[in-house]
Amino acid sequence: MKHLLLTTFMTLSVLSGYSQGLLEKKENFTHQDTLRGTITPERAWWDLTYYHLDIEVFPETKTIKGTNTIRYKILERNGVMQIDLQEPMQITKVTQNGQRLYVKHDGNAHFVYLKRYQKVGNTEEIVVHYTGKPREAVRAPWDGGFSWKKDQNGNPFIATSCQGLGASVWWPCKDHMYDEVDSMDISVTVPKGLIDVSNGRLKSKVENPTTTTFNWEVKNPINNYGVNVNIGDYTHFSEVYQGEKGPLDMDYWVLSYNLDKAKEQFKQAPQMMEAFEHWFGPYPFYEDSFKLVEVPYLGMEHQSSVTYGNHYQNGYLGSDLSGTGWGLKFDFIIIHESGHEWFANNITNKDIADMWIHEGFTAYSENLFLDYFYGKKAASEYVIGTRRAVSNDKPIIGFYDVNKEGSGDMYYKGANMLHTLRQLIEDDEKWRQILRGLNKDFYHQTVTTKQVEDYLSEKTGYDLTEFFNQYLRDTRIPVLEYEVEGQQIKFRWTNVVENFDMPVIITYDGKKQWIYPKQDWRTAFIASDDVTIDPNFYIIPKKI
């Protein structure tokens, strides 16, 4: 995602209290939350293969109307299918092979009763017709929906954003992260004179009497919340980037009057591509191209059409999240949201409770961008600086099966956890190969935190079980108590989960030394009493 507005004294939890918003405080869950967040039997039996979302957008009335053709493969016998579409949007009709089907509505979940025999192994499709006035974004992108704005010239400037809330806020779909559609067509009809930019490549443009239809094609698996429409008085420029997998089309869609500013600011896009291909491997969607698309809100990781609203300036809306100055060396939205192409769009969480896989790695990617262009010291200073945004209010991992993410600490506590892991590995090339390996071995997949944790344990050769339990499932930051007496240092862990025993680097006389603290006191020999605990480890050193 999208990042939450931060200042030196605000933390990621400031948005608590926004209804339906991401990172909202919520501990009581309803039947509707369960329908939304669980792989229900009415979802489990079919595997999504293709969508054709075909809609017309009416800016005057702030309404949309259209169909979604849903193709699926039958995995098990069942005759009832769950489709999600949130109120006040309305499903008007569902058909299969031209036959109208009965639909039982349960709030935002709709159970379609199929008439045809659903033979295991076959591929079938249904067409969902729908219409309505979709929820208007209260504060996009955190509390999303449709943003119906105007540009400086008074032209409609419209965009969707729906992470957390769900794509079903504006189109009917299987709205659960675990099952990504394999490919998708998106057709959007808009009043003449306006342009729609969606995901993937523009296949065709059809002129109708008073409207224009833009047909976009996505050839790769895509998560629901990544699908978007962006409508405005756009102008376009492009370049071809010579990447790890060959030539990559990079396209930029901006408001006509921002063209000059965009041509300057978006020079960071190929730099981003260079740094992230180095660290994470090839951009995961060459077939669909890469795009930056200007929108009337801050930005979002919409797959292959990353949206941008950072006003053509460096930093996060002009400010440095880390307080070190390094955050002003890059445009936060270009770097962060594009980082999600690897972590969120390529490797996607199966359940939003594991959203740290998206945000922890992507917040971490910010310092890797700095590392690539400004060196390791700059990168360390930045990521350490972002610790001020950590609130340790609740665990990073959220609640499963109810569509509820964990603490906003998934960003910078997540980033600092990964930075700590890099220290433990003590081999930057190995660490880079692990990051690239994640993107290769989980290519275009949805995964659980367990899969990622096990992968990192296996590839690093350390049992990281307690390490992840500490940082992902507990709110405490490990305290390293130590005492120096002559040529001896005494140390132990406190404020930690059972069996936490992470080693740490200390320095004295410019020399590095590993120590191996446990939860009882241990000692080590040191040649000097002028000891520093390596600040790259996300722990609290406490000299006693």
Which residue number, 1 or 159, has a Cβ lying nearer to Zn ion?
Answer: 1
CB of 335 to Zn ion, least distance (A): 11
CB of 356 to Zn ion, least distance (A): 11
256-265 LR contacts (CB < 8 Å, sep 24+): 257/151, 257/152, 257/153, 258/294, 258/312, 259/235, 261/312, 262/237, 262/294, 262/312, 263/237, 264/312, 265/312, 265/313, 265/331, 265/334
**Plot region of 219 (φ>0 → left; ψ -120 to 50 → alpha; else → beta):** alpha
How far apart, in Å, do the first and last CA atoms of the chain sit?
41
CB of 339 to Zn ion, least distance (A): 8
Which residue number, 309 or 541, has a Cβ lying nearer to Zn ion?
Answer: 309
- Rounded-to-integer distance, Cα 65 and Cα 459, Å: 49
Stretch binding Zn ion (CB under 5 A), from 1-9, 59-67, 135-143, 369-377: 1-9
Angle ∠(11,12,18) on CA atoms, nearest 5: 115
Interacting residue with Zn ion among 1, 114, 389, 438 (CB under 5 A): 1
CB of 75 to Zn ion, least distance (A): 32
Which residue number, 124 or 405, has a Cβ lying nearer to Zn ion?
Answer: 405
Q: Going by DSSP bridges, is the β-strand pair 347-349/445-447 parallel, antiparallel, or unpaired?
A: parallel
The secondary structure of 415-480 as a DSSP string is HHHHHHHHHHHT-HHHHHHHHHHHHHHTTTEEE-HHHHHHHHHHHHTS--HHHHHHHHH--PPPEE
Sign of the Cα torsion 453, 456, 459, 465 reads: negative
Which residue number, 174 or 404, has a Cβ lying nearer to Zn ion?
Answer: 404
- Residues 6+ positions from 322 with CB-CB distance below 8 Å: 381, 382, 383, 384, 385, 386, 388
Strands (DSSP E) along 195-336, which ranges? 195-197, 201-207, 211-218, 230-232, 234-243, 246-255, 290-294, 299-300, 306-308
Q: What is the DSSP letter of 134?
A: P
CB of 111 to Zn ion, least distance (A): 33
Which residue number, 359 or 409, has a Cβ lying nearer to Zn ion?
Answer: 359
- Rounded-to-integer distance, Cα 232 and Cα 230, Å: 7
CB of 381 to Zn ion, least distance (A): 21
* Adjacent-strand bridge partners of 129: 67, 93
Which residue number, 1 or 370, has a Cβ lying nearer to Zn ion?
Answer: 1
Residue 259 has phi, psi (to 5 degrees) of -55, -50
CB of 383 to Zn ion, least distance (A): 15
> How many residues are there in the chain?
544
Which residue number, 143 or 359, has a Cβ lying nearer to Zn ion?
Answer: 359
CB of 300 to Zn ion, least distance (A): 8
CB of 385 to Zn ion, least distance (A): 18
Under rule CB under 5 A, how many of the chain's residues touch Zn ion? 3
Using DSSP's 3-state secondary structure scheme, residue 81 falls into strand
Whose tokens are 């980082």? That residue is 339
CB of 362 to Zn ion, least distance (A): 5
429-488: which residues touch Zn ion (CB under 5 A)? none
Which residue number, 362 or 367, has a Cβ lying nearer to Zn ion?
Answer: 362
Token output for 64: 């949309």
Token output for 367: 């310092």
Binding to Zn ion by CB under 5 A, coded x per residue (else -) over 332-371, reads: ---------------------------x--x---------
Helix/strand/coil (H/E/C) assignment for every residue in 316-345: ECCECCCCCCHHHCCEHHHHHHHHCCCECC
Which residue number, 1 or 418, has a Cβ lying nearer to Zn ion?
Answer: 1
Q: Which amino acid is at 244?
A: E
CB of 411 to Zn ion, least distance (A): 7
- Rounded-to-integer distance, Cα 230 and Cα 141, Å: 13
- Closest CB to Zn ion belongs to which residue? 1
Q: Which amino acid is at 75?
A: L
Q: Does 533 bind Zn ion (CB under 5 A)?
A: no
149-154 LR contacts (CB < 8 Å, sep 24+): 149/296, 151/232, 151/233, 151/255, 151/257, 151/296, 152/255, 152/257, 153/233, 153/257
Which residue number, 1 or 114, has a Cβ lying nearer to Zn ion?
Answer: 1
Which residue number, 1 or 502, has a Cβ lying nearer to Zn ion?
Answer: 1
Which residue number, 172 or 309, has a Cβ lying nearer to Zn ion?
Answer: 309
CB of 86 to Zn ion, least distance (A): 23
CB of 290 to Zn ion, least distance (A): 17
Which residue number, 295 or 424, has a Cβ lying nearer to Zn ion?
Answer: 295
CB 360 within 8 A of CB 414: yes
Which residue number, 195 or 298, has a Cβ lying nearer to Zn ion?
Answer: 298
CB of 349 to Zn ion, least distance (A): 12
Binding site for Zn ion (CB under 5 A): 1, 359, 362
